[in-house]
Amino acid sequence: MPSVLYLRLSGFYLFYFASLGALVPFWSLYLDTLGFSKVEIGQLIAFLMAPKIFAPYLWGWFADHSQQRISVIRFASLGAAITFAGTLWVTGYLPLALVTGLFGFFWHAALPQFEAVTMDHLGDEVHHYSRIRVWGSIGFIAVVMALPWMLEGRDILYLPHLVLVLLVLIFVTTLGMKDFPRGDLEGPVPVTTVLRRVDVLALLIVSFLQLVSHGPYYTFFTIYLQDHGYSLGLAGQLWALGVGAEVVLFLFMHRLLGRFNASRLLQASILITVFRWALIAFFPDHLVILLLAQLMHAGSYGLFHASAIHMVYGMFPGRLQGRGQALYASFSFGLGGAIGAFYSGYAWESWGASWSFGVAAMISLLAFVIALAGLRRA
């Protein structure tokens, strides 16, 4: 791959996941500072995630038919920056729900299409995807390490300003990109035919459950740590440790995919997730165990995502690629992420913080059973 193309692809992932590093660990803390309850925080995070249920597929359908994938990514990135700017002025529940929901409609559209662009450029070397995607993890780590010192105390109210800067940088990275010359890549079968396959349905259901189980982690982990006496700086370091483990996994992922079946790797990642949530649920006051749980992020997210992306690429050929990546995003980070955030707020208030992670472990266990039954031939 030409070095210029590598830099452009990597740069998008760098800034996209840097913005994710600002939102995922700290947005709930920002909402908490504004005075929202845990239930309201869960609902507002759900509003942010909900557009990913339908937006990626709508944008993916348009990109597949127009063959203007980069233009779609560029427009969505610009729309995300413009709509998110509204959070600089609104702080009420309904206005914030409306603004973040609209922002999510654009923000969630860009990444699935960019995944398809990256896979197109890699061609027969799709197993090297992780060497580009690793820059997203690096961006995430840089942000979660830096922000706690920048946003200590009331300075957390400046979080929307910092996120907006990162969103603008995402748009800037798209300006020099061009679409991959795809030629005639009409899918050999309709998307409805692909969706009737047992392994495809199993992958989408498992992806949904896997992200539902991540609800308490992505929504409340920072608050959970602070409630157990950890500083914001240490919370940021724990987030960074998890993504750092993910980076190491991505560096070796192409070798794992060359040696093992992707479906088996996916099943292993879900089993790791079960144990990870159990450790966080029942041993929050033991730092060493939390360190181990964060190292398991390499499995629960890194191994799962890289394996799933690889499987989606094989299951949705040709012009179905954009819609395949969009469906994966919609079922996992969209529907799964929204329901995960929504239920975790109620679970937190009703059963307590620890049991919200205990429920997450049980959901992951269900996903593991479905993966064993449905992905045997994948």
Q: Where are the domains of the chain?
A: 3-175+190-374
What's the pLDDT score for residue 106? 93
Q: Which two tokens stand for residue 167?
A: 């969103």
What are phi and psi for residue 123, nearest 5 degrees?
A: 60, -120
- What confidence category does residue 274 fall into, taking pLDDT thresholds of 50, 70 and 90? very high
User: Which tens digit of pLDDT belongs to each residue from 142-194?
Assistant: 998 888 887 766 688 889 999 999 999 999 988 877 766 555 445 456 777 77
Contacts of 55 (CB under 8 A, 6+ apart): 104, 105, 106, 108, 109, 330, 334
What's the pLDDT score for residue 78? 95
**Are 41 and 49 in contact, with CB atoms under 8 Å apart?**
no
The mean pLDDT of 351-371, rounded to a whole number, is 93
- What confidence category does residue 287 fall into, taking pLDDT thresholds of 50, 70 and 90? very high
What's the pLDDT score for residue 377? 54
- What confidence category does residue 249 fall into, taking pLDDT thresholds of 50, 70 and 90? confident
Angle value at C-alpha 364, between 278 and 136, nearest 5 degrees: 90
Instruction: Please determine, for residue 339, whether its predicted confidence score (pLDDT) is greater than 70.
Output: yes
**Are 135 and 12 in contact, with CB atoms under 8 Å apart?**
no
Contacts of 177 (CB under 8 A, 6+ apart): 8, 12, 70, 73, 74, 117
Specify the fold of 3-175+190-374. Growth Hormone; Chain: A; (1.20.1250)
Q: Using CA atoms, how far apart are residues 135 and 195, in angstroms rounded to an integer?
A: 32
* Residue position matching structure tokens 């944008």: 59
pTM of the model: 0.80
